Amino acid sequence: MSPLVCALSGCAVLMAAQATPVPVILDTDLGDDIDDTWALAMLLGCPQVDLKMIVTAYHDTETKTRLVAKILEKVGRTDIPIGTGIKTADRPINQAAWLGDYDLATYPGTIHKDGIEAAVDLIRASEGPVSLLVIGPQTNIPEMLKRDPSIAQKTRVVTMAGSVEIGYGGKEGRDPEWNVYADVAAARAVFGAPWEIVMAPLDSCGTLILDGHHYAHVADAETARAEAVIENYRNWANFPKHPAGQSSVLFDTVAAYLVFDEAFCTMETVKLAIDDEGNTVPDEEHGRPVRCALGWKDEAAFKKLLVEAVTGRPYAEKP
């Protein structure tokens, strides 16, 4: 199937999915930046999403599996299987203070030691298309394709990755974005597969924070998902670097949203190539079509959705 045909079929899948929840496999480096934790809580609070599995990615994936398990147990979602992805380093996670000595042996849910095979099996067994939400370095994904290239025919990739025209902090000009830069070969393999790719680059997500009443709505919610997010944020190794009363940049939540809707974002299909430095560069001749969220139509509506999904509580702006 050509990328163009795949893209068209993917759009049809997205439209059809509005009536039923979108089946999603989350591939995440949760435990590094805190935005993965926010994205997970958001997904769990969105009825538009049927979260089928979570696969841990990059660095110490075994410890990250423990962290995901503890979060799922806290929020009462141990029904979601967890798979351990490819370990690339023994680097300590940034949420170790919250994880503590949590023992995976006590976890009541399903843990797959080979998360790659478990994800491939799930896609093979699925009656319809599956959205693979990739919000970390893409190291696990080429291995999935290697084990069964045919999964590309049943899968749509939605990813937080890249920088088309805007870099970190909203600066003009692209940057090598971390999830691509960390494993350029893997990102190129993902770009080379015949599936639709929907991407939240820094252009839309690179300055997204919650502050003021938005942040307070989460911090004060006292619901299990909100508590899990705020506890992890306050115990996150980089928490002291951020101003009080606001989140860090919540990059991954935009990709989580794009799994089931695009209405709040300015979307454009751009032919992109990945250079040796990890830049995602527009290239009409050699690039592949990627559906990109390049800006916002209604960022306020997105933030409302985000805080309501995380907290499970209605949100209204204070006068």
Output phi, psi for 165, to 5 deg. -130, -15
Q: What is the pLDDT of residues 29-69, one digit of tens each?
A: 999 999 999 999 999 999 999 999 999 999 999 999 999 99
- Classify domain 3-311 by CATH number: 3.90.245.10
Question: Per DSSP, what are the bridge partners of residue 291?
Answer: 198, 269
Q: What is the pLDDT of residues 143-199, one digit of tens each?
A: 999 999 999 999 999 999 999 999 999 999 999 999 999 999 999 999 999 999 999
The amino acid at 318: K
* 3-state SS, residue 73: helix
Task: Report the distance separating Cα 301 and Cα 88, nearest Å.
Answer: 38
What is the CA angle 58-62-66, rounded to 5?
115
pLDDT surpassing 50 at residue 11: no
Task: Give the number of other CB atoms < 10 A from CB of residue 96.
Answer: 14
Q: What is the pLDDT of residues 207-263, one digit of tens each?
A: 999 999 999 999 999 999 999 999 999 999 999 999 999 999 999 999 999 999 999
Instruction: Give the pLDDT band of residue 318 (cuts 50, 70, 90).
Output: confident
Question: Per DSSP, what are the bridge partners of residue 281?
Answer: 273
